[in-house]
Amino acid sequence: MPKTSEHREQEVAQRILRRWHDDVPNDRMAHLVKDATRAFLRALQHRLAKHDVQLGHWTFLRILWERDGITKRELSIEAGVMEPTTFTALKSMESLGYVTLERRPNNRKNVYVFLTPAGKRLRKTLVPLAEEVNAVAVQRLATEDVATTRRALLVMLDNLSRDQEGIEAS
């Protein structure tokens, strides 16, 4: 990452910290979660870039490492992105040699996504980077606090999911 980009990333991180510690320490939970997510993603993106892997590819690779050979549509749903976004990412990943896109003779409609050997090998390199980001994030936190945070976030996800279901039913 170029020096100016690293400097900018540090400046952004410092501003966010200052905002939460000094300006609005009791701001809404959604803002805190958003800023924490952005910090996680910046840290991961920085590590992935050293291996010439884009952050946008990370989500698709993670899913495919668990469920190789799913359809492009299923991959979009799993990743939580629109199909055109998935299509663009997959074309790029295909050109990098990470995936192949195939149609089956008995079903010409669906496009299936398969990891190549190179895409599969990335797992051994990239997963430890994500684990490192998580380890950095929870250092100086007690094990019980990490467990409590996980439980709290899962309850929030459950609550918001039920809320969404209620909104869609209305």
> pLDDT (tens digit, 9 = 90+) per residue, 33-92?
998 999 999 999 999 999 989 999 999 999 999 999 999 999 999 999 999 999 999 999
Look up the pTM and report it: 0.76
Domain ranges of the chain: 1-50, 54-122
Q: Which CATH number describes the domain made up of 54-122?
A: 1.10.10.10
CA 112 to CA 148: how far, in whole Å? 39
Q: What is the average pLDDT across 95-101?
A: 96
Contact 54, 48 (CB under 8 A): yes
- Give the three-state DSSP class for 112: strand
